[in-house]
Amino acid sequence: MKTFPAWLAALSLTLLPAFAGQEQKGDESLITKSERIVFLGDSITAACTYTSNFATWAEIRFPKHHVEWINAGLSSETVSGLSEKGHAGGRFPRPDLHERLGRVLEQTKPDLVFACYGMNCGIQMPLDEERFAKYREGIEWLKKEVEAAGAKIVFLTPPYYDEIRNPKKAYYTDVLAEYSKWLLGRRADGWNVIDVNGTMTSFIEEKRKTDPKFSLQPDAVHPNPAGHWLMAQGMIRWFGDEEAAKSESVKAMLEARGQPAGIAQLCHQRMTVLHDAWLTATKHKRPGVRPGKPLPEANKIAAELTQRIDSLKR
């Protein structure tokens, strides 16, 4: 049986009343009243997959409302400011969102921000109050900074960590579950929180009843395409579109609505070109990231892709 420190047991008890039964649905006006939507997160967000899946859903859900989707996810990044010894072979510490957030908000001027942190914030170490506190402080700081910039923010709980793929760090699955539990508890304070961790956990546990080795994350961390769609499903379900959220893939979602599957690919291309351009423009400091095109050039390409997307919509 797994045991946890006394401080964690006490924290869980204090969160229980706020968390229990605290269901939440998102208001679609968060999207329809936004012209610029920014995604913040680590390499899972930077992959531009769950984010472009979600943007694809929004394109057909609100066909006449155009959003400028900006993915500003940065690989290895944390909101806790922590980094393990020897990260990246000792070449550089994990990027810290505190260093670049001001530039990102000033230049992108978002109306709405989606933020997904946690996978790196505990630096794959066992549950510890000091590390946990750094995550909580970072999330609270992020919310204040985004709102001070005039935008609204929606948090995603940390994705699932697959202990089967890395048994030596099996404890980290529970660490991220506790981070998620705390974040979900903030719904009682009026925070907008989408439970990605819960969506993934429930799905994986159900699959493992018949296939004990089932996995969506080959390296324990990064989801495969099905895992990214599962994350997008959680977001779509939060906004109340249960029918779309039941689809088995983004392609199936489009086909069920009589829409060409090519829309998803174009949305991914658009988000990727803008992601690389915005990372370069906002001057991140992480080594090893491919440079993006100059923003004017990237925006021109994105506009052309938007025209192609609109021409395919039915």
* pLDDT given for residue 16 in this prediction: 37
- Tell me which residue of 151, 156, 139, 129 sits closest to 51, measured CA to CA: 156
Q: Where are the domains of the chain?
A: 32-312
Q: Are the C-beta atoms of residues 268 and 48 closer than 8 Å to each other?
A: yes
Altogether, the residues listed in the chain come to a count of 314
Each residue's pLDDT tens digit in the chain (314 positions)? 333 444 444 444 334 333 333 579 999 999 999 999 999 999 999 999 999 999 999 999 999 999 999 999 999 999 999 999 889 998 999 999 999 999 999 999 999 999 999 999 999 999 999 999 999 999 999 999 999 999 999 999 999 999 999 999 999 999 999 999 999 999 999 999 999 999 999 999 999 999 999 999 999 999 999 999 999 999 999 999 999 999 999 999 999 999 999 999 999 999 999 999 999 999 999 999 999 999 999 999 999 999 999 999 98
32-312 CATH choice from 3.40.50.1110, 3.30.360.10, 3.30.1490.20, 3.30.450.90? 3.40.50.1110
How far, CA to CA in Å, does 7 sit from each of 2, 126, 130, 185, 271? 15, 14, 11, 17, 42
pTM of the model: 0.92
148 Cβ contact partners less than 8 Å away, ≥ 6 residues apart: none
143, 153 Cβ separation under 8 angstroms: yes
How many C-beta atoms surround the C-beta of residue 314 within 10 A?
10
